[in-house]
Amino acid sequence: MTVGIVGLGLIGGSMAKAYAAAGWQVLADNRSKTILDFATLEGTVSGPLEGNWTQCDLILVGLPPQASIQWIADHADKIAPRTVVMDLCGTKRVVCTACFPLAREHGFTFVGGHPMAGTHNSGYKYAKATLFKGAPMVLVPPEGYDMELLDRCKALLAPAGFGKLSVTTAEDHDRMIAFTSQMCHVVSNAYIKSPTARAHRGFSAGSYKDLTRVAWLNADMWAELMLENRDFMLQEMDVLLHNLAAYRDAIAENDFDSLRQLLQEGKEIKEEVDGR
């Protein structure tokens, strides 16, 4: 079996390593020839994807949304009908809206994909074959629930080691991801801008580390993702700002009962949605 990987960053590079470890032939395309040469030298990549597109059973596009769309558009007439093409972007509406028609026009299959795994680090040097082991993978197939296609995707994704495959629409994916991922990055990134942060050493422990981990991000990529999802981002921001205002009012008014109630409500919701 042969997989094509476009983009050898953290996500694409980890996919390449996982598939190579599973015995697949890995063909790759990467903007930096140095990284591509290194991945080839270490045995992860078997050869170039350029000119070998029709060999692939699966092509995984690990670029930001607009770059993913451009790559697929540029190569749509070179992809074999038997090949499944899947992006790995953090938003789905923009990519799926552009790529479903391209796939229909050129006769291959496109499925939107979002592996729910990563680290605050980026780049091939941090890629690892086990990054996706046990992690969720979200799929956005073409309209309708084609069980044969979903079974095929499950088999094609097996080398990555995902723990669960979820199927949804691009709209529902982006609505949910605004809350579970993008807002976490905004809050973390805004929180670390306090002037107190520069003097935190010796006064911080797990809660500080948990909250600020994802402030260390790829600004270009996350800005693109957030602006593409700005409608759902703004909804979540309005909810957060409303909630923060309630806490601020209780503290400003020295209102123990109101503050205690707000804190208790948050604790109970956390227990309800995530368990103890």
Whose tokens are 């809350």? That residue is 179
Sheet strands (E) in the chain: 2-6, 25-29, 47-48, 58-61, 84-87, 109-115, 136-140, 164-167
Separation of alpha carbons 32 and 34, rounded Å: 5
Place of tokens 């599973």: 22
Q: Do domains 2-168 and 173-274 have the same CATH topology?
A: no
Question: In 3D, which of 74, 31, 63, 72 has the Cα closest to residue 224?
Answer: 63
| DSSP symbols for 94-106 | HHHHHHHHHHHHH
Taking the domains of the chain in order of start, what are their residue ranges? 2-168, 173-274
The pTM for the full model equals 0.91
pLDDT at position 197, please?
86
Q: Which CATH number fits domain 2-168: 3.40.50.720, 3.10.620.30, 3.30.920.30, 3.40.50.20?
A: 3.40.50.720
Per-residue model confidence (pLDDT) at position 33: 92
Q: Can you state the angle between helices 230-252 and 219-228, rounded to 10 degrees?
A: 100
pLDDT at 119: 78
Using an 8 Å Cβ cutoff, are 132 and 13 in contact?
A: no
Classify domain 173-274 at the CATH superfamily level: 6-phosphogluconate dehydrogenase C-terminal like domain (1.10.3660.10)
Per-residue pLDDT of the chain (276 residues; tens, 9 = 90+): 999 999 999 999 999 999 999 999 999 999 999 999 999 999 999 999 999 999 999 999 999 999 999 999 999 999 999 999 999 999 999 999 999 999 999 999 999 999 998 777 789 999 999 999 999 999 999 986 688 999 999 999 999 999 999 999 999 999 999 999 999 999 999 999 999 988 888 777 889 888 999 999 889 999 999 999 999 999 999 999 999 999 999 999 999 999 999 999 999 999 999 986
- What pLDDT shows up at residue 201? 81
Q: What is the pLDDT of residue 145?
A: 65
- The pLDDT value recorded for residue 275 is 83
What is the predicted pLDDT for the residue at 276?
67
